[in-house]
Structures are given as structure tokens and as C-alpha cells.
Amino acid sequence: VEVDPETGDVQFRRYVAVDDCGRVLNPMLVDGQVHGGIVQALGQALLEEAVYDENGQLVTGELTEYAIPKATDVPWLETDRTETPSPVNPLGVKGVGEAGTIAATPAIVNAVLDALAPFGVRHLDMPLKPEKIWRAIRGA
């Protein structure tokens, strides 16, 4: 990733993921699950936040206030897979529904922190919104 120090905006330059999905019965389904999980992780890492007012009422309860990734936020995803059959079932398949999400969230956060290292920023809590990144750069 690259971070614009003037705005805190994060731009993906490349995203690569290789998942071991066991025996693949439907490649398009597997790709869709992995891609969807990565996009969910992108949202969790950079955008999504539950905000409550002083009375404890959720103020980001609708999609007009709760940020989720748009198509323009999603980088080109370079994905591939290995097929190591599972020994615990006759088809050799493995669950793939969570595969894209599990590693992607920390990978995205760590990539942003690597980009911020020259500015002395070592830690940020999610979501890594542009304003939070900008303030961290200014405060480091």
C-alpha cells in the first residue's frame, strides 16, 4: 500500500493471496468466497466502525452512516490456491468461507503500518480511516 501523508488516504498497489482450499469442486465459488472475504477484511481494517452517541445509541446503524467498501475501494486481487486434500473427509474438501478474511485484516493493517514507519507511526487501532492516519503522521 501507499499512504498519502497529506491526506492519510490509503491506496493499494497490489494484493496477493494464496489459499489452501483442499480439493476444489467449484473454482468460481472458491474464488468468490476468497475475494469476498478479502473485501470484508478491507472494510474492517479501513472503514467500518460502530459509533455511539452520549446516550449509548448507535448512530452508524444504517448504510448511510456505516462505511463499507465500494467497488472503487477494492484493488485488483491476485489470488491463487493450492490444493492439499483434507484427510478428514472422503471428498478432501476444506472450508473456504472464512479463508479470505482471516489473514487479510492483519495483512492490510500491517501494510499500512509499514507505509507509516518512515513517519514514526508504529500502532493504530482499526479502522484506519484517513483522518486517523493523518493525525498519527502529524503527531508522531
Active site residues: 98
Alpha helices by DSSP H, listed for 69-129, are 99-116
- Given a contact cutoff of 8 angstroms between Cβ atoms, the answer to whether 122 and 60 are in contact is no
Residue reference for cell 465500494: 70
Do residues 68 and 47 lie in contact, with contact meaning Cβ atoms separated by under 8 Å?
yes
Rounded Cα distance between 105 and 18, Å, is: 15
**Cα 118 to chain centroid, rounded:** 22
